[in-house]
Amino acid sequence: MKTHILMQRTLEPLEKYLNTKGLVEVIINKPGEIILETKNGFKYIQDNSLTLEYLEGFAQQLATTVNQKFGEYHPILSCTLPIYNYRTQIMGKSVVDTNFAMAIRCASANIYPLETWFDEKEISILKNAILTKKNILIAGGTSSGKTTFLNSILSLVPHEERILTIEDAKELELPQPNVTRLLKSKMGTDIAKTTYAHLINSAVRLRPDRIILGELDIDNTLPFLRVLNTGHGGSMATLHADSVDKSIEALIMNISLAGAGGNERAIEKYILNALDIIVHLKRIDRVTYKATLKELN
Ligand SMILES: Nc1ncnc2c1ncn2[C@@H]1O[C@H](COP(=O)(O)OP(=O)(O)O)[C@@H](O)[C@H]1O
Ligand SMILES: [Mg+2]
């Protein structure tokens, strides 16, 4: 594909960084400097080839390759970096004081065993919930390990099942052979302007055994919960929230902000009907991650 060849060329100045061993994240706060994060912390590197002109050209080529836009009128780009398959967030002129900022999440998709987070009893509850197709919400702050945990439980989904995913960047690891991955730009910068409701309704018609949603937000919470409440078991999604209780509050807030407000008790009941289990994750330090499991109903 022509765009891929152009993308490869555009990536050249970044290649040596992207191929660093044990890389967790590549960060650019401003032109001329790149920061490599590994488990040992941040390493700052001055690189004069990373000019604003190069970085903006890179973002434009990336946007073109993934059918999005980047530029004066579209200064925010969220997508998957081709070739590497890393989640990438870019902020351009007018939304960042340095005119360019970028974070590429490179963490190798390590599949951790459930023992990383839980004791035997909780593991048996979770395994049973996965096999009996309960709906599971994974909540936590930024970098608390939500995606990592979701990948870990996805690895336990039977390979006979057909999985439909909806993500803004390809972060999920799916060992199952029968998978369709739908992509939704978070910023509405995709050329086709598809909405979450379009994709969620399409997912239902694509014969899923399970629907997995990368991250719940204002636009997708209600359509997703509606699918769960119409009998689609085995679904999973992640959510930014500080605790189990705050997860329910955050979902109510998402629904209200989407304009479907009303009786809060009724909304809460709707949410509790849709979900069976909430796992809340917390990062204590670079190597310690904690989880709380709560069964609803
Ligand atoms: N249990 C864990 N043990 C060690 N590292 C972890 C664990 N969970 C997550 N990580 C690491 O923490 C970082 C953030 O994890 P991620 O799942 O992407 O978080 P989130 O989706 O909540 O933003 C990644 O580098 C990941 O490899
Ligand atoms: Mg995540």
Does 223 score more than 90 pLDDT? yes
What's the mean pLDDT when you consider all of the chain? 93
Please report the pLDDT score of residue 1 as a whole number: 57
Q: What is the CATH number of the domain that holds 9?
A: 3.30.450.90
Of the given ranges (2-11, 204-213, 282-291), which has the lowest mean pLDDT? 2-11
Average pLDDT over residues 234-254: 96
Q: Could you tell me if 93 and 181 lie in one domain?
A: no
154 pLDDT more than 80? yes
Q: How far is the CA of 149 from the centre of ligand 2 (A)?
A: 9
| Domain CATH number, residue 196 | 3.40.50.300
Write down which residue in 75, 105, 135 finishes a domain: 105
> Span 52-81, mean pLDDT?
95
154 shares a domain with 178: yes
- Amino acid occupying residue 179: V
Per-residue pLDDT for 271 more than 70? yes
From the number of C-beta atoms within 10 Å of its C-beta (0-12, 13-18, 19+), residue 94 rates as exposed
Mean pLDDT, residues 18-29: 93
Asked if pLDDT for residue 60 goes beyond 70, the answer is yes
Residues 54 and 174 in one domain: no
| Pairing mode of beta strands 179-183, 101-105 | unpaired
Query: Is 179 found in the same domain as 94?
Result: no
Average pLDDT over residues 124-151: 96
CB-CB contact of 281 with 138 (8 Å): yes
> Residue 195 pLDDT more than 90?
no
Cα 270 to averaged position of ligand 1 atoms, centre (Å): 30
Among residues of the chain, what percentage have pLDDT more than 70? 99
What was the pLDDT predicted at 48?
A: 97
At which of 73, 105, 137 does a domain end?
105
Which is the closest atom of ligand 1 to the Cα of 116?
Answer: 1
Query: Residue 53 — pLDDT band, cuts 50, 70, 90?
Result: very high
Task: Tell me how far apart the alpha carbons of residues 100 and 91 are, in angstroms, rounded to a whole number.
Answer: 6
> Any idea what DSSP says for residue 259?
I
Contact 114, 136 (CB under 8 A): no
Which range marks the domain in which residue 21 is found? 2-105
Which among 217, 223, 280 has a CA at the least distance from the CA of 253? Answer: 217
Q: What Å distances lie between residue 247 and 58, 102, 240, 266, 289, CA to CA? A: 37, 28, 8, 16, 18
Q: How many domains does the chain have?
A: 2
pLDDT at 286: 79
Task: Give the integer Cα–Cα distance in Å for 136 and 253.
Answer: 19
Yes or no: say if 129 and 171 are a contact pair by the CB < 8 Å rule.
no
Does residue 16 sit in the same domain as residue 160?
Answer: no
Centre of ligand 2 to C-alpha 2, Å, is 31
- Helix/strand number for the chain, H first, E second: 8, 13
Judge if 247 and 120 occupy the same domain: yes
Decide which of 39, 70, 105 is a domain's last residue. Answer: 105
Query: What's residue 109's pLDDT?
Result: 63
Ligand 1 test: best mutation among 143, 284, 287, most atoms within 8 Å of CB? Answer: 143
